[in-house]
A = this chain, B = another copy of it.
Amino acid sequence: MSIGVRGKMMRTLPTFDNVREAAGRIQPYIHRTPVLTSRTLNSMVGAELFLKAENFQRVGAFKARGACNAVFALPENEARRGVATHSSGNHAQAIAFAAGLRGIRAIVVMPEDAPAVKVAAVKGYGAEIVWAGSNPLDREQAIKTVLAETGAIFVHPSNHFQVIAGQGTAAVELLEEVPALDMVMAPVGGGGLLAGTALSVKALSPRTRVIGAEPATVDDATRSLRDGRIYPPTNACTIADGLRTFLGDLTFPLICELVSDIVTVSEAGIVAAMRLIWERMKIIIEPSAAVPVAALFEHPDLCRGQRIGIILSGGNVDLDHLPWLQSESTLPAHALASVSAR
C-alpha cells in the first residue's frame, strides 16, 4: 500500500503481512505478555477491559518488539554495519537490547540531560552513547554525523517500516486471546504503536474500532488527524514523556486510514489513572501507558458498555520521582464516586 502525504514522495507502507512476518521473526526474543483484567476497573468505567501488559515486555516496554524486528530484519551485510538511533527513552534501550541479541554494534544519540538511570540501562545492554544537546536540531545533527562516520543503519523510534510492523504484534497477541473486541486503544506519540496496532486490528477484526489517546498538552496527533496534515510538535510539557514526539510520513497515512479517532486527556487524569492501576491492579505502568486508561474516565461516552482492549505500553518509571508526590491530581468526580468497592 502506498499513500502520498502533502505532495511528498510516495513511500511504501507496511501491511499486515509485514506484521505477521514480524511476529515470527521476533518470537524467540520477546515475551508473549499476559492480558490482564480487573473487575474493579470494569465496574468503575462501566466497560469490559482487556489490558495487554507490555510493561512486562523485555526492556519494560513494547519498544522491544519494533526494535527486534528492525534489527533482525536486516540482511547480514547491513547488520554488520551496526544500528543507530536517537532516543532518551524506551526505544534507546530496545535498540541496545536488540543489537546485543544479534551481536552487532548499536550507537544511541542521547541528550546530555538524559536521566542517569536510562543512560546506565542503555550502557548495560552494551550500546555506545553519543551525546547531543537536548533540542531536536542538535540531535538531528548528531545522528547525521554518526551515520556518516560509522555507516550504521538508522532505526527511527516510530516512523520506520519494520518498527511499525513489530509494534503491531502486540495487538495480534491481544486479539488471539480476546477476539471479539469493540475497540482497541493505544497511546500515540510518534504513532508507531498506534499504526501497527491499527494494521493488526483492521486485518483480524475489521469491525473493531481503533482509538488513539494522547495528552491534551501535546495534541498534535489529534489536530493532524482532524486536518489531514502533520503538525510539528509543540513545546508543551507532559508527564507522558514517551508521547512528546510527532507523526511521520509512514505512521500518519496509516493512522489516517485505519484509526477511527484520537482523544486527548488531562495531565491530572494521566496521573490519577496511573495511580489507580498501581493501587488496584498492583502493576507498575509508566505515564504514557496510563493515557488510554485516563481516556476511559475522561471520555465515558466513548467507552461505556464496550469490550475494550488497551495496550499498556510500558512500565519504566523513576521510582524516586512519582508524579502524585509532586502535584495534585484528581479523577473526574464520577470516577471517584465508585472507587470504594474492589
Contact surface of A with B, Cβ cutoff 8 Å: 34, 55-56, 58-60, 97, 120-121, 123-125, 275, 278-279, 281-285, 315, 319-320, 322, 324-325, 340-342
Contacts and interface: CB of A to CB of B under 8 A. Distances in A.
Given A124-B340, A125-B342, 4 more contacts: A34-B34, A56-B281, A60-B282, A320-B324
16 contacts: A34-B34, A59-B342, A123-B340, A124-B340, A124-B341, A125-B342, A278-B319, A279-B319, A282-B285, A282-B315, A284-B284, A319-B322, A320-B324, A320-B325, A322-B322, A325-B325
Contact of A121 (B58, B285, B342): B342
A276 to B, nearest CB: 10
Contacts of A278: 284, 319
Contact of A283 (B123, B279, B282, B322): B282
Contacts of A319: 275, 278-279, 322, 324
Contacts of A341: 124-125
A182 to B, nearest CB: 25
A23 B284 CA distance: 30
A321 to B, nearest CB: 9
Question: Which of A56, A59, A282: most chain B Cβ within 10 A?
Answer: A282
B59 A124 contact: no
Nearest to A124: B340
A324 B322 CA distance: 12
A124 to B, nearest CB: 4
The 9 closest A-B pairs by CB, nearest first: A282-B315, A124-B340, A282-B284, A55-B282, A283-B283, A124-B341, A56-B282, A278-B284, A282-B283
